[in-house]
Amino acid sequence: MDQLPLFHNLTNRPCLLVGGGDVASRKAHLLLQAGAELIVVAPQINDNLQSQVLKQGSQCHLRCFNPQDIQHLPYALVVAATNDQQVNQQVSQLAQQANILVNVVDQPALSTVTFPAIIDRAPLTIAISSGGAAPVLARLLRGKIESLIPHRYGQLAELAGKFREKVKQQFSAINDRRYFWEKVLTGPIAEQVFAGKLDKAELQLEAALAEATPNKLGEVYLVGGGPGDPDLLTFRALRLMQQADVVLYDRLVSPEVLELVRRDADRLYVGKARSNHALPQAEINQRLIDLALQGKRVLRLKGGDPFIFGRGGEEIDQLAEAGIPFQVVPGITAASGCASYAGIPLTHRDYAQSVRFITGHLKEGHLELPWQQFSNPAETLVFYMGLMGLGTICQQLQNHGRSPDTPIALVQQGTTQKQRVYTGTLATIETVIKDQEVKPPTLIIVGEVVSLRSKLAWFSAE
Q: Known catalytic residues?
A: 250, 272
Dihedral angle, C-alpha 294, 299, 301, 306, nearest 10 °: 90
Query: How many other CB atoms sit within 10 Å of the CB of residue 32?
Result: 20
Binding site annotation covers 23? yes
Distance CA 7, CA 397 (A): 61
Cα–Cα distance, 26 to 20 (Å, whole number):
10
Residue 134 labeled ligand binder: no
Is 2 known as a binding-site position?
A: no
Contact 62, 50 (CB under 8 A): no
Q: Per the annotation, does 385 bind a ligand?
A: yes
227 in a known ligand binding site: yes
305 is in an annotated binding site: yes
Sign of the CA dihedral running 166, 172, 177, 178: positive
- Closest by CA to 189, choosing from 221, 162, 165, 216, is 162
Is residue 304 marked as binding?
A: yes
Known binding residue 226? Answer is no
> Which residues lie closer than 8 Å to 26 by C-beta, 6 or more apart?
none
Cis peptide before 123 (omega within 30 of 0): yes
Nearest to 170 by CA among 181, 159, 185, 183: 181
245 is in an annotated binding site: no
Contact status, residue 412 vs residue 421, Cβ threshold 8 Å? yes
Radius of gyration, alpha carbons of the chain = 30
Asked whether the beta carbons of 42 and 16 are under 8 A apart, the reply is: no
Establish whether 414 is an annotated binding residue. Answer: yes
Q: Is 43 annotated as a binding residue?
A: yes
Residue 154 marked ligand-binding: no
Residue 334 assigned ligand-binding role? yes
Task: Name the binding residues for S-adenosyl-L-methionine.
Answer: 227, 303-305, 308, 333-334, 385, 414
Task: Name the binding residues.
Answer: 22-23, 43-44, 227, 303-305, 308, 333-334, 385, 414
Task: Name the binding residues for NAD(+).
Answer: 22-23, 43-44
